[in-house]
Amino acid sequence: MLDNQLYNRQRAIGLEIPNSVTIAGTGGVGAWVALSLAATGVPNLYLFDPDILEVSNLARLPFCISSIGKPKVEVVRDFISAIRPDCIVVAVQDKLEGIILDIQLCVSNVIVDCTDSVKSQIKIFKACRERGVRYVRAGYNVNHITVTGVISGFVRGEEEETYAEDPSWIAPPLVIAGEVLYKIMKSPDHEVSLDLGEIGIPVKKKTSRLTARCNQEGRTTRRRS
């Protein structure tokens, strides 16, 4: 790999690239986060997700139809291996919890939590805080995206581990991946909680009117104001 050519233009940005990142959940959000981290030059990635790739996932991910039915972590690992063969990717088809979480806290600079379970998020967050490992939570609800270093709430009683088919599309995960990278590599205090429509600033629409000269000569040339 010709690293001098590959990363020459990004060196001037001054990115703080971690040596090792663990990603919990490799669905629509986690997969894009993993691909983006690898493309930026993170040398070691650990992927955790117990699920397989389904047809509906392809509406938000750049994977082949032939990958349907395969473990998500293996599909993401193989894609990364194709674009960054120097990146070491460990794919584990399991949840990030228990002894597995304890191990990852010993080998990871950052843990990115892309799970949907608040109960799981709290466990990972508390474990990271106790061990002094950076924690980043990333997710979205329709068009509202969240990237933060804290958990979203508290669980009372037993949380139902059920899958909800919430409305989703590819735009939020793409934006989230960039925000996660910015938080990890440029600004640790960076926090995001907004709708996609809130990004940007209002733009004043340009109007046009006929100039005096055009009116006199019957021309159709217009001047912008």
Q: For the domain that residue 174 is a member of, what is the CATH number?
A: 3.40.50.720
Confidence check: pLDDT of 223 > 60 = no
Identify whether 149 is part of a domain: yes
pLDDT of residue 151: 86
The domain total for the chain is: 1
pLDDT of residue 69: 98
Phi, psi (degrees; rounded to nearest 5) at 70 = -90, 155
Q: What is the pLDDT of residues 99-134, one digit of tens each?
A: 999 999 999 999 999 999 999 999 999 999 999 999
Confidence check: pLDDT of 209 > 50 = yes
Identify whether 49 is part of a domain: yes
Q: What is the pLDDT of residues 20-32, one digit of tens each?
A: 999 999 999 999 9
Identify whether 216 is part of a domain: no
Q: What's the domain range around 52? A: 3-200
Query: Which tokens belong to 82?
Result: 């194709």
- Beta strand 88-92 with 44-48: parallel, antiparallel or unpaired? parallel
Confidence check: pLDDT of 1 > 50 = no
3-state secondary structure of 125: helix
Q: What percent of the chain has pLDDT over 90?
A: 75
pLDDT of residue 23: 98
Query: Which tokens belong to 115?
Result: 């799970």
Confidence check: pLDDT of 76 > 90 = yes
Identify whether 89 is part of a domain: yes
Q: What is the pLDDT of residues 37-63, one digit of tens each?
A: 999 999 999 999 999 999 999 999 999
Confidence check: pLDDT of 213 > 60 = no
pLDDT of residue 53: 98
pLDDT of residue 162: 47
Identify whether 217 is part of a domain: no
C-alpha 163/C-alpha 128 separation (Å) is 26
Average pLDDT in the chain: 88
Residue with tokens 């055009």: 214
Confidence check: pLDDT of 156 > 80 = no
Average pLDDT over residues 64-93: 97
Confidence check: pLDDT of 181 > 60 = yes
Nearest of 135, 142, 134, 148 to residue 193 by alpha carbon: 148
Identify whether 210 is part of a domain: no
